[in-house]
Amino acid sequence: MSQFGNHDDRPTKTVELSRSEVTHVVMQTDINGQGRLFGGRLMEWIDEVGGMTAMRHSTHEVITASVDNLTFKAEARLNDMVVMIGKVTHVGNSSMEVRVDSYRENEVGMRVPINRAYLTYVAVTPEGKPIRVPYGLEVSGPGEEAEWEGAIKRQRMRLERKKEAF
């Protein structure tokens, strides 16, 4: 058995099967006093895409458990198109890690990276209780394997910070 991906009796889904892509046009209500997209608005959009991706994978409602990494690389301005792509990088018992990449897309389709985020979601019952994710993750290729390993490292770091109350 591979050290990556599914290690139990669950059926699996591929990374591509749960992938989500959403595009927003930056409107007047989305910009700050400097004419740039509010970071908080982008964070909201990222959480929406991440949640959709986790719901697609788990076939259940999800709640956001953590945001591990949110790295701003470039800006977006009024009337820019912002494309966000979410994909599952790791599946635990009730949790899933989702990577969301955000891009500014110009009129000819060229994309400039503006943000990368890693978020953890927990599958829940309609009453809000954690539930086992019914699908494992089929990991294939070095890129997906690296994402799986990175997710495990981020999970260890989260647990360590929690233990140290940091």
Q: pLDDT tens digits for 40-96?
A: 999 999 999 999 999 999 999 999 999 987 888 999 999 999 999 999 999 999 999
The sign of the dihedral angle between the CA atoms of 151, 154, 160, 161 is: negative
Q: How far apart are CA 154 and CA 163, in angstroms?
A: 14
- Sorted by sequence, the CB contacts under 8 Å of residue 88 that are 6+ apart come out as 13, 15, 18, 53, 54, 57, 96, 97, 98, 137
Q: How far apart are CA 76 and CA 62, in angstroms?
A: 28
pLDDT over 80 at 3, yes or no: no
Q: Which of 133, 152, 149, 158 shows the shortest CA–CA distance to 66?
A: 158
Predicted pLDDT of residue 1: 36
pTM of the model: 0.92
pLDDT over 90 at 4, yes or no: no
pLDDT over 70 at 7, yes or no: no
Q: What is the pLDDT of residues 86-139, one digit of tens each?
A: 999 999 999 999 999 999 998 899 999 999 999 999 999 999 999 999 999 999
From the number of C-beta atoms within 10 Å of its C-beta (0-12, 13-18, 19+), residue 126 rates as exposed
Q: What is the pLDDT of residues 16-37, one digit of tens each?
A: 999 999 999 999 999 999 999 9
Segments making up each domain of the chain, as ranges? 12-163
CATH topology for 12-163? Thiol Ester Dehydrase; Chain A (3.10.129)
> Which tokens go with 73?
């690389």
Share of residues in the chain with pLDDT > 90 (%):
83
